[in-house]
Amino acid sequence: MSKTVLAVDDSKTMRDMVSFALTEAGFAVTTADDGAHGLKVAQEGTFDVIITDINMPNMDGITLIGHLRGLSQYQSTPILILTTESEQGKRDQGKNAGATGWIVKPFNPEKLIQVVNKVAA
Amino acid sequence: MDMQSFRKTYFEECQERLQEIETLLLSLESGDYQDEHLHAIFRAVHSIKGGAGAFGCDHIVSFAHIFETVLDSVRDHRLALDPELMEVLVTSSDVLAAIVAAAEQDQILAETFDAKAKADLSQYMDGAEHAPLPAAHASSSDAKKGTSRTYTIVFKPHSRLYEKANEPLLLLRELGGLGEMILSVNVDALPDLSAMDAVGGYLSWTITLTTTHHKDAITEVFEFVLDDCDLTITETDRTVAGEMKPTPPSDASPAIETGESKVSSIRVDLDKIDRLVNMVGELVITHAMLSQQAEKLARDGYPHLARGIEELSTHTRELQDHVMAIRAQPVRMAFARIPRLVRDVSKDVNKHIKLVMTGEETEVDKTVIENLADPLTHLIRNAIDHGIEDAETRKAAGKPAEGTISVSAGHRSGRILIEIRDDGAGLNTKKIAEKAKERGLIENPDLMSADELHQLIFNPGFSTAEQISNISGRGVGMDVVKRNIQSIGGKVYVKSEAGVGARFVLSLPLTLAVMDGMIVRVGSQKLILPISNILESLRPRRQDIATITEGGEVLDLRDHYIPLLRLNRLFNIPARYDEPWQGLVLIVESEQTTFALFVDELVGKQQVVIKSLEENYDPVEGISSATILGDGSVALILDPASLYDLHTKQGDSLAFAA
């Protein structure tokens, strides 16, 4: 069974790139286009890893992480946030909300895969 | 999928985002202040920046970064959004759009291109916020060969580390990837099973690692958990090894073929959809043919056949609707530019205008949307420049100083109606009447209703603006609007009430692949005329037909002479009737003129699937395209404008021969 990843980002470019890179690396990727959508998709399925952007309409990534950590099935699921270099503050907020780690944009596919492997058992 | 296709997606997305930024900035400027607008603008700029990095579009990154920094201060209320700052933001969104456009074309813009906008934005940044730009991301695995070091690492996770779903075993595995590792676990803190918290941090590890990597590489392994553990890294030994191999990377997951499940949407080439639309068109024709043939059979004892065909008909129609719906897009795409237009034009003419838009979600064929931009622009410019009075005049008339323009869209009986309404002075009926008389368009204005007179503004070269401003009123005006709308099978008319305002209504087809046609017969031929061009049909009296010396035959239509075209003569078809008063005359409106068209009879109204003549045969004068009728026969679709040209040419050559 391949690992399942949920990638939440309001940018189609990012969704495409994340899902392309991870699919190549053997993951089964599902995407959602904002926090609220991501939460809904997460509740309807089970995922081994969740990757989320921070700045999104309807529900931001920090709030999403808070909600996910409140769900029993995602208490110990690795959750990664996608941030830019200049968002150190956001990274800390994400950590405090329960994020496992972060991926810095712009990322290259190898780095992305490396980080996901780092947190996914 | 490769980088190139991501790049395409990225720039498509940029266009959407830029449009969004512009729309939102304008709502902010028009006084509709909402925090959420600012958040959305910030997100859009941020997202443009985020993608740009991945494609090496450094210019976008650097400008978006400054833009975003200022937006961030505004949304956090650290900066007040005053009119000057508003102007800077609007300009910056234009500059960003230009930089994105240049990047898409791989053009290099001069460094100075955005200097002014950058400077304007920079005024709003205090030093601390001027965060340095992200440096190019350095590769994490730059192994320094040669020197092998030994480190002693003590790692004691806190329970918080587990709460965030970090897994010590994975970190240790990654650490092992850096070199030779000796591991010992300390279980002293482990309580009795009964007292144990499942996510408690009881274990700690002491690791001896021999590696060619620098200490930074070790720290990086723990980067996610630094705050949630006790970690000490001590260098204990260093040896220079001649043949130290670079360590293998951590185990890569085997590539298992997986399907990626998309939740939202897919992008499809327009060509593919067009092919689908075409195929469905063929299906509609085949079905019509089949049902005509089967009608007789069904009567002769095949009752199931009739039912089957009935069902096929339902499904075919449904399929057709759905396929058409794929091409449909919300008119929002065409409306999106309006706020900016209203803002710019009203500034130019120094009027205060409130814009109200409704029905943006109404869906219509993509091609129709693409052809809407020009007419809409024209009508709105006109409404602001000529329709809405200046503030003093408005106050004197007891109206609010601020004018209102409303643009709405909605569906009505299989067509889409778009209305542009202003609360200005309305059309000047008297002036229109004078002008029309002066131009010889009408003879006696008193015989016409105000409404009829108003429609005259759509005649070529008809402009009543006393002063020609640089906004509108350059002589080309409403006739261009009308021609554009007609070219996509639509109609336009105006309703106006003096002192209350004017309302322009565009009635458009939902799709261009099928058309409402009127089938007419001349002799044995069936021909089709677009319904949108037909005003009325009538059987004239003998005395209504006259011949004038230089204009050929004319029809007296309620004291108004219009040219009479005989379809049989234009195409050399032997007709059943020789004279118009025996057959029927259609009053047809074309781009340049209104004329009467003599045919034998009307066969009926039918929705027809349009087949290009140029693609399948050759262009023919007077004919726009062809279709296949229910009985399988091909019928030609007439093009009123080129029909009239043909008539004029034939008239000339006849005159020459005479």
Spatial neighbors of B65 by CB under 8 A, at least 6 apart, are A86, B49, B131, B133
CA distance B587 to B580: 12
Look at residues B283, B303, B329 and tell me which one is the last residue of a structural domain: B329
Say whether pLDDT at B407 is over 90: yes
- Contacts of residue B211, defined as CB under 8 A and 6 or more positions apart, other chains included, come to B148, B149, B150, B151, B178, B179, B180, B217, B218, B247
Looking at per-residue confidence, does B105 or B300 come out higher?
B105
Q: Are residues B315 and B348 in the same domain?
A: no
Please give the residue range of the domain that contains residue A45: 4-120
* Co-location of B120 and B179 in the same domain: no
pLDDT at B468 over 50: no
Q: Do A80 and A47 form a contact (C-beta atoms < 8 A)?
A: no
B469 pLDDT higher than 50:
no
| B166 touches A: beta carbon within 8 Å | yes
C-alpha separations of B556 from B443, B448, B453, B559, B591 in Å: 13, 16, 19, 6, 20
Query: Which residues face A7 on adjacent strands?
Result: A31, A51
Q: Does the CB of B607 have a partner CB in chain A at under 8 Å?
A: no
Question: Model confidence at B128, in pLDDT bands (50, 70, 90)?
Answer: very low
pLDDT for the residue numbered B531: 86
Optimal mutation site among B21, B37, B39, B47, interface A, most CBs of chain A within 10 A:
B47
Check A13 against B10: CB less than 8 A apart: yes
Residue of B372, B446, B361 whose CA lies nearest to B408: B361
pLDDT beyond 90 at B259: no
Residue B575 has pLDDT above 50, yes or no: yes
| Residues B307-335 pLDDT 10s | 888 888 888 878 877 887 787 888 888 88
Alpha carbons B54 and B131: distance in angstroms, whole number: 20
How much is the pLDDT for B652?
A: 58
Q: Which residues pair with B365 in a beta bridge?
A: B328
Q: What is the pLDDT of residue B223?
A: 82
User: Do B471 and B346 have their domain in common?
Assistant: yes
ipTM greater than 0.85, yes or no? no
Instruction: Note the pLDDT of residue B142.
Output: 41
Mind listing the pLDDT tens digit for each residue in B141-179? Answer: 444 445 778 888 888 888 888 888 888 888 888 888 888
Residue B82 CB neighbours (<10 A): 9
Q: Which H or E run includes B548?
A: strand B545-548
* Cα–chain center distance at B555: 44
Is residue B169 within 8 angstroms of chain A, CB to CB?
Answer: yes
The label of the residue with tokens 């909402």 reads: B34
> B234 with B305, same domain?
no
CB B202 within 8 A of CB B191: yes
> How far is residue B517's CA from residue B188's CA, in Å, rounded to a whole number?
89
From the list B325, B295, B329, the residue with the least C-alpha distance to B310 is: B295
Q: Where are the alpha helices (DSSP H) in B105-240?
A: 115-122, 159-163, 168-176, 215-221
Q: Hey, how many other C-beta atoms are within 10 angstroms of the C-beta on B401?
A: 13
Give a yes or no: residue B656 inside a domain: no
Query: Is B30 a member of any domain?
Result: yes
Tally of domains in chain A: 1
Instruction: With a cut of 90, say whether residue B552 has pLDDT above it.
Output: no
Pair B599, B461 in one domain: no
Pick from B197-211, B427-441, B453-467, B546-560: least confident:
B453-467
- Residues of A with CB below 8 A from B165's CB? 75-79, 98, 100, 119
Under the banding of pLDDT at 50, 70 and 90, the label for residue B238 is low
Q: Do B148 and B285 belong together in one domain?
A: no
Mean pLDDT of chain B: 79
For the domain that residue A114 is a member of, what is the CATH number? 3.40.50.2300
Whether residue B168 sits in one domain with residue B21: no
Give the mean model confidence (pLDDT) for residues B540-552: 82
At which of B282, B309, B329 does a domain end?
A: B329
Please compute the mean of the pLDDT values over residues B477-498 and round it to a whole number: 82
Window A:73-92, CB contacts with B under 8 Å:
75-79, 84-86
Least confident of A115-119, B124-128, B288-292: B124-128
- Tell whether the model's pLDDT for residue B404 goes beyond 90: yes
Q: How far is CA B100 from the centre of its chain?
A: 18
- Contact at CB, A100 and B164, closer than 8 angstroms: yes
CA-nearest of A98, A97, A110 to A17 is: A110
> Does A19 lie at the interface with B, CB-CB under 8 angstroms?
yes
Measure Cα distances from B459 to B270, B381, B441, B479 in Å: 36, 18, 9, 5
Same domain, yes or no, for B294 and B323? yes
Give the integer Cα–Cα distance in Å for B217 and B230: 17
Q: Which range marks the domain in which residue B462 is found?
A: 331-509
The partner residue sitting opposite B224, judged by closest CB among A100, A114, A120, is: A100
| Beta carbons of B13 and A23 less than 8 Å apart | no
Least confident span in B152-166, B291-305, B421-435: B291-305
Q: A57: nearest CA in chain B?
A: B40
Q: Is the pLDDT of residue B98 over 50?
A: yes
- What CATH number is attached to the domain comprising B614? 2.30.30.40
pLDDT at B416: 82
Mean pLDDT computed over B37-58: 86
Which of the pair, B414 or B23, is modelled with greater confidence?
Answer: B23
Q: B509, B524, B549 — which closes off a domain? A: B509
> Does residue B658 fall inside a structural domain?
no
Q: Tokens representing B278?
A: 């075409």
The pLDDT of residue B596 is 92
Do B199 and A101 lie within an 8 Å CB cutoff?
no
**Of B264-268, B534-538, B641-645, minimum mean pLDDT range:** B264-268
* Cα of B166 to nearest chain A Cα, Å: 6
Which tokens belong to A29?
């990727």
pLDDT tens-digit map of B67-89: 988 988 888 888 888 888 888 89
Which pLDDT score, from 0 to 100, does residue B250 have?
A: 42
* Chain B residues within an 8 Å CB radius of A56: 43
Question: Rounded distance, CA B508 to CA B331, Å?
Answer: 12
CATH classification at residue B71: 1.20.120.160
> Taking 60 as the threshold, does the pLDDT of residue B381 lie above it?
yes
B250 touches chain A (CB under 8 A): yes
Determine the distance from the C-alpha atom of residue B292 to the mean position of all C-alpha atoms in its chain, rounded to a whole number.
40
State pLDDT tens for residues B501-515: 999 999 887 766 677
Q: What angle do CA B328, B331, B337 make, to 5 degrees?
A: 140
Say whether residue B223 is in contact with chain A using an 8 A CB cutoff.
Answer: yes
Kindly give the pairing relationship between strand B403-412 and strand B353-358: parallel
Beta carbons of A114 and B256 less than 8 Å apart: no
Q: B242 to chain A, minimum CA–CA distance in Å?
A: 29
Percentage of chain B exceeding pLDDT 70: 86
pLDDT at B298: 62
In a domain, B364, yes or no: yes
- CA B608 to chain A, closest CA, distance in angstroms equals 39
Token representation of residue A108: 């290259």
A111/B contact by beta carbon, under 8 A: yes
Percent of chain B, pLDDT > 90?
8
> What count of Cα atoms within 13 Å lies in the side-chain half-sphere of residue B584?
15
- Residue B579, pLDDT above cutoff 80: yes
Give the pLDDT score at B504.
92
For residue A121, which residues of chain B lie inside 8 Å, CB to CB? 167, 169-170
- Residue B197 above 50 pLDDT? yes
Claim to verify: residue B344 and residue B415 sit in the same structural domain: yes
Residue B636 lies in a domain: yes
- CATH number of the domain where residue B186 is located: 3.30.70
Q: Could you tell me if B497 and B538 lie in one domain?
A: no
- B197-223 average pLDDT score: 81
* A106/B261 CB distance under 8 A: no
Q: Which of B68, B44, B66 is nearest to B118 (CA)?
A: B66
Using CB atoms and an 8 Å cut-off, which of residues 102-161 of chain B contact chain A? Answer: 131-135, 137, 140
Share the mean pLDDT of chain A.
86
- pLDDT of B587 above 90: yes
Q: Provide DSSP, B376-423.
A: HHHHHHHIIIIISPPHHHHHHTT--SSEEEEEEEEEETTEEEEEEEE-
Name which of A85-89, B94-98, B544-548, B566-570 the model is least confident about: A85-89
Q: Is B324 a domain residue?
A: yes
Q: How many domains does chain B have?
A: 5
CATH number at residue B343: 3.30.565.10
